[in-house]
Copies of this chain bind each other. A is one copy, B any other.
Amino acid sequence: MATLGALDSLTSKLREIHHLHDAAAVLSWDQETYMPAGSGAIRAEQLATLQTLAHNQFVSREVEALLCTFLDSETGILLSKHQDSLDDTSQALLRETWRDFSRAKKLPSAFVNKLERECSIAQQVWAESRQTNDFQRFLPNLERLVGLKRKEADYLGYTDSPYNALLDTFEPGVTVAQLRPLFAELRTHLIRLLKQIQHSPVQPNTSLLTQSFDTTKQIDFGRLVLKQMGYDFQRGRLDLSAHPFTTSFHPTDVRVTTRVFENDMPSCLFSCIHEGGHGLYEQGLSTQHYGTPLGEAISLGIHESQSRLWENSVGRSQAFWQYFYPKLREVFPSQLGGVQTDEFYLAINQAEPSLIRVEADELTYNLHIMVRFEIELEIIEGRVQIDELPEIWNAKIEEYLGITPSNDAEGVLQDVHWSFGAFGYFPTYTLGNLYAAMLFDQAKKDMTDLEQNISQGNFQPLKNWLNKHVHQWGRQYSASDLIQRVTGQPLTPEPFIRNLEEKFGNLYQFPTSFSSKTST
């Protein structure tokens, strides 16, 4: 009874702390969508207060005492007297809460404040530097940030590489030792595929996507697709923002945003599908476990797997457009009336080297990630001079993609991530792609009529499958445990490569050579 009481108290306390994170998330959503231009300064202060309070409440003696009712205060290991009385769910809740708690405790408040202030300034300087294409201006901020992030890794502790400590923030359990061979294998296949595509006589006519498309109609179509996917507008919204994102304040209030350009129809469309995948994950989390780690997404990689699965495995598939293309053509008869489904399908699947990550296709996107991973690994391990980054960047882009940025704005300055200290974040995008392919492969095995359902606009079975196998668990399982549990195998690039091979082989009409043996 006493232990159950302590568990309830812990849960209540975590929920209360979560309300502060929710409030901060509402304020951030508001900032990106509707906040008047003139109130940026005060919003930053309001957010800082909420975040500091949430942090202080979490690392409090109260939470520590509740945790240590069950766990060894040094190691966080479950006390033997509780091993029989607590079910798996409760044990997972304690394990994951301890993970967060012990990480948070390792970082001194003064350090966290300093880092946040530095990030806040660096983001502004980065934005201006990118605008004026002036890396030198950003350099001192970036150098200070790198110093702080290496310090953060020291506080958190690590084996092998300080980068592991940072990676662990975003993708718990994954290490450099695991990523290196994984990415190396992936790269070989991607570069081979890209060459085949580039040498193909078949090339898409992408100009059909850059005609003039009424923006309101684009947004309405995005909303239609979201509804059909099963995204619940009773528990969500679609708004516009400069950069599309998904945010959640509870599974009953999960919001997605998109952006829309008159002359770039895929942008709004695939943003909606992508964010819809994130949104379905958040709407599918347990309300019972809200506020605790069991009501949270596992990792950025698993989160990204949900958006990529819907965006690429579903949204760029032939089956999907078999259903949706006639509808899209109805909305834009003058633009698409003369365009056949296959022509459209080829155009939205164009693969070719480009300089900007966020505009890259399904295939070359991962090469962008590898460039960033390799560079930030060297940065955090202290093996490069920060002032040499532009040259290093350009050389790697040339090596991986065969093209060269003409300036730093389309080179090393293009991404916001480093400016807010998010080193170790990039790999989760590619992990998301790999997880997505593994999960979608398994879904097809479990539901032999999946593609048929998709081609009829029936996404309910896929959504239910994801709810059941991924969403509902929150952090009860780690990413690797979940993937093993659902697919019966550990993380492998094989399904991703095989699917790309099949898809692009068909689209660009080249012989497929990949055998699944190469990666197992």
Instruction: List chain A positions with a Cβ less than 8 A from chain B.
Output: 15-16, 19-20, 22-24, 26-27, 30, 34-39, 41-43, 45-46, 49-50, 53, 232-237, 239, 249-250, 252-253, 255, 290
- Complex copy number for this chain: 2
Instruction: Look across to chain B and name the residue whose beta carbon is closest to the beta carbon of A234.
Output: B38
**Are B36 and A236 interface neighbours, CB within 8 A?**
yes
Bound-state Cα–Cα, A27 to B252, Å: 15
**Are B27 and A46 interface neighbours, CB within 8 A?**
no
**Are B42 and A250 interface neighbours, CB within 8 A?**
yes
**Are A42 and B237 interface neighbours, CB within 8 A?**
no
Q: A26-B26, A38-B232, A235-B38 are in contact. Are A50 and B19 (CB under 8 A)?
A: yes
**Are B19 and A46 interface neighbours, CB within 8 A?**
yes
Determine which of B20, B39, B43, B45 lies in contact with A49 in the assembled complex, contact meaning CB atoms within 8 Å.
Answer: B20
Q: A27-B26, A30-B26, A50-B23 are in contact. Are A39 and B252 (CB under 8 A)?
A: yes
**Are A34 and B250 interface neighbours, CB within 8 A?**
no
**Are B22 and A249 interface neighbours, CB within 8 A?**
no
Chain B residues near A252: list those with CB within 8 A: 36, 38-39, 41-42
Bound-state Cα–Cα, A252 to B239, Å: 23
Bound-state Cα–Cα, A22 to B31, Å: 13
Distance in Å: Cβ of A368 to nearest Cβ of chain B: 34
Q: Pick from A37, A38, A43 the residue with the most CB of B within 10 Å.
A: A38
Instruction: Look across to chain B and name the residue whose beta carbon is closest to the beta carbon of A22.
Output: B46
Chain B residues near A237: list those with CB within 8 A: 34, 36
Q: Which A-B residue pairs are the 3 nearest by beta carbons?
A: A39-B253, A19-B49, A39-B252
Determine which of B16, B39, B234 lies in contact with A250 in the assembled complex, contact meaning CB atoms within 8 Å.
Answer: B39
Bound-state Cα–Cα, A237 to B39, Å: 12
